């Protein structure tokens, strides 16, 4: 009670002071909030200005790609009337970008590849920004295993060739800005923005034996990537290409719908493309293959259309125990003479044994690891080799006669003889 019995004048003075204090605090809080808002707006404007600058300067280096492929149509009634099944023209769209003043365009193999997955589409057309007319392009080099291709336009004006500088994907940090350019759903010259979500995601990219993708390192981004963005550049805030947009994870496809961005897109690191670029430029329209060490798989399974190489995980545990083989690994069937594998001392099988559904070579080496990663099939070995250059080495874990050993294989010119 005594605390509430304050003289009137003091109470009024106290109230006045309290109100003034509250008002002052309110003004300070409002001022702080206003400053924070201004700072936030300033930061947004800075980011927007950077995006506008990058897009304005480098979007002219983006290329819209369209393809035409004549494919056979299946008419189930044609045989009844003595006709044939006929053909139809299948079309596709994608993206690419100029990498030099000569007009070379990097893109994905699956953008310009034909329906069979062997070679290029019958016709490739490209169109540059602010030009209505498309011009034909020829293939300089194809690299299906890398899902990369190099094409060059014919009859394009030199002033329309605007190369985009290539960056360094090895220096990327998670959280960096990422700008994706391309033609999602055929909407040419579109731009989206996000961040680098991961710098070392391992996913199947490209087309290996049997059409399977080869596991490679990829950049993950949340910048919206959709069908048609394939082959387009992923840029950093400096306008440098850090990756080539190639794939998305899309729940729509898994449920039978159309693929579309779910915030998880992947790009081939630009350093992988830079390493491959000289070989693509020298391919003379041919195919550039990933390096090989000169071995053939020694475990094959019978499948529709013939035999396919498989890893030891395809066999039962009891079968592997009987054959004295490890649980997983790549069985070496043959070693090519004068190859990196033969110079490293790898050995192929000395005999073969048939089993229901396949055949296995015995008496040779089994590769169980490469550069610290497990190997259970030819695709796993290719994944360890795919970014290698001449003179590089690959460290193999090998089992021979039940004993493990380390083998270092050096990639010489013969590893790249298939271009």
The domain that contains 98 carries what CATH number? 2.40.10.10
Say if 284 falls within a structural domain.
Answer: no
Same domain for 331 and 353? yes
- Gyration radius of the chain's alpha carbons: 30
> What is the structure's pLDDT at 24?
46
Reading phi first (left if > 0) and then psi (alpha if -120 to 50, else beta), residue 82 is in: left
**Structure letter (DSSP) for residue 366:** E
Same domain for 218 and 319? no
Say if 281 falls within a structural domain.
Answer: no
Same domain for 209 and 256? yes
- The helix/strand/coil state of 155 is coil
Residues of the chain with pLDDT under 70: 1-44, 73-85, 116-117, 209-211, 250-262, 418-419
Say if 278 falls within a structural domain.
Answer: no
- Which residue among the candidates 66, 95, 104, 147 is catalytic per the annotation? 147
Say if 358 falls within a structural domain.
Answer: yes
Say if 286 falls within a structural domain.
Answer: no
Same domain for 183 and 248? yes
Picking from 239, 271, 303, the residue at the C-terminal end of a domain is 271
Q: What b-and-e string marks burial along 217-237, b requiring 16 or more CB atoms within 10 Å of the CB?
A: bbbbbbbbbbbbbbbbbbbbe
> What is the per-residue DSSP string for 78-116?
GGGGT----EEEEEEEEEEEE-STT--EEE-HHHHB-TT
> What is the structure's pLDDT at 213?
78
Beta strand 148-153 with 105-107: parallel, antiparallel or unpaired? antiparallel
Q: For residue 73, how far is the Cα from the chain centroid?
A: 32
- What does pTM read for this prediction? 0.78
Same domain for 137 and 81? yes
Cα 49 to Cα 37, 43, 53, 208, 336, distances in angstroms: 18, 10, 6, 43, 57
Is 230 an active-site residue? yes
Say if 76 falls within a structural domain.
Answer: yes
Instruction: Count the helices and strands in the chain (H runs, E runs).
Output: 7, 22
Beta strand 135-143 with 87-98: parallel, antiparallel or unpaired? unpaired
Cα 351 to Cα 191, 233, 410, distances in angstroms: 58, 50, 27
- The helix/strand/coil state of 60 is helix
- Which residue among the candidates 95, 230, 339, 342 is catalytic per the annotation? 230
- The helix/strand/coil state of 293 is coil
Number of other CB atoms surrounding residue 188 within 10 Å: 17
Same domain for 65 and 51? no
Q: Which runs of consecutive H residues, i.e. helices, occur in 324-386?
A: 340-343, 378-385
Number of independent structural domains in the chain: 4
Same domain for 130 and 150? yes
- Which residue among the candidates 66, 104, 110, 250 is catalytic per the annotation? 110
> What is the structure's pLDDT at 84?
58
Same domain for 368 and 317? yes
Q: For residue 227, how far is the Cα from the chain centroid?
A: 14
> What is the structure's pLDDT at 89?
86
> What is the structure's pLDDT at 202?
87
Domain that holds residue 29: 2-58
Cα–Cα distance for residue pair 378/394, rounded to 1 Å: 14
- The helix/strand/coil state of 417 is coil
Is 147 an active-site residue? yes
Same domain for 88 and 132? yes
**Structure letter (DSSP) for residue 373:** E
- Sequence-distant (6+) residues with CB within 8 A of 101 are 158, 161, 163
CATH code for the domain of 378:
2.30.42.10
Which tokens sit at 105? 């365009």
Say if 23 falls within a structural domain.
Answer: yes
Is 95 an active-site residue? no
| 218-276 per-position pLDDT tens digit | 999 999 998 889 999 999 999 999 999 998 875 554 444 555 556 799 999 999 999 99
> What is the structure's pLDDT at 133?
93
Cα 153 to Cα 94, 138, 228, 291, distances in angstroms: 15, 6, 19, 29
Same domain for 299 and 367? yes
């Amino acid at each position: 009670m005594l605390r509430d019995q304050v003289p009137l004048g003091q109470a009024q003075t106290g109230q006045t002071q309290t109100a003034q204090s509250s008002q002052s605090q309110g003004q300070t809080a409002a001022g702080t909030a206003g400053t924070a808002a201004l700072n936030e707006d300033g930061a947004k404007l800075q980011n927007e200005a950077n995006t506008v600058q990058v897009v304005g300067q480098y979007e002219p280096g983006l290329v819209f790609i369209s393809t035409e492929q004549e494919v056979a149509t299946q008419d189930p009634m044609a045989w009844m009337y003595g006709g044939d099944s006929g053909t139809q023209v299948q079309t596709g769209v994608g993206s690419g970008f100029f990498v030099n003043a000569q007009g070379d365009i990097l893109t994905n193999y699956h953008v310009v590849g034909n329906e069979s997955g062997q070679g290029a589409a019958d016709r490739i057309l490209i169109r540059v920004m602010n030009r209505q007319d498309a011009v034909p392009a020829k293939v300089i080099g194809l690299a299906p295993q890398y899902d990369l291709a190099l094409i060059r336009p014919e009859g394009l004006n030199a002033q329309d060739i605007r190369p985009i500088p290539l960056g360094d994907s090895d220096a990327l940090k998670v959280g960096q800005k990422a700008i994706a350019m391309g033609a999602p759903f055929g909407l040419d010259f579109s731009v989206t923005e996000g961040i680098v979500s991961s710098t070392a995601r391992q996913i199947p990219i490209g087309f290996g034996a049997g059409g399977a993708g080869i596991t490679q390192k990829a950049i993950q981004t949340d910048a919206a990537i959709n069908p048609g963005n394939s082959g387009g550049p992923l840029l950093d805030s400096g306008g440098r290409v850090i990756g080539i947009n190639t794939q998305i994870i899309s729940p729509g496809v898994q449920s039978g719908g159309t693929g579309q961005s779910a915030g998880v897109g992947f790009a081939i690191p630009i350093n992988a493309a830079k390493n491959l670029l000289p070989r693509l430029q020298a391919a003379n329209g041919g195919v550039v293959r990933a390096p090989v060490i000169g071995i053939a798989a020694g475990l094959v399974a019978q499948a529709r259309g013939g035999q396919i190489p498989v890893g030891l995980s395809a066999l039962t545990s009891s079968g592997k125990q009987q054959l004295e083989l490890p649980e997983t690994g790549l069985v070496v069937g043959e070693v090519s003479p004068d190859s990196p594998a033969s110079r490293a001392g790898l050995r192929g099988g000395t005999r073969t044994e048939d089993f229901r559904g396949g055949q296995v070579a015995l008496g040779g080496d089994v590769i169980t690891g490469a550069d610290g990663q497990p190997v259970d099939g030819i695709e796993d070995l290719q994944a360890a080799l795919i970014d290698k250059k001449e003179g590089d080495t690959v460290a193999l874990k090998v089992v021979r006669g039940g004993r493990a050993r380390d083998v270092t294989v050096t990639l010489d010119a013969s590893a790249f003889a298939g271009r």
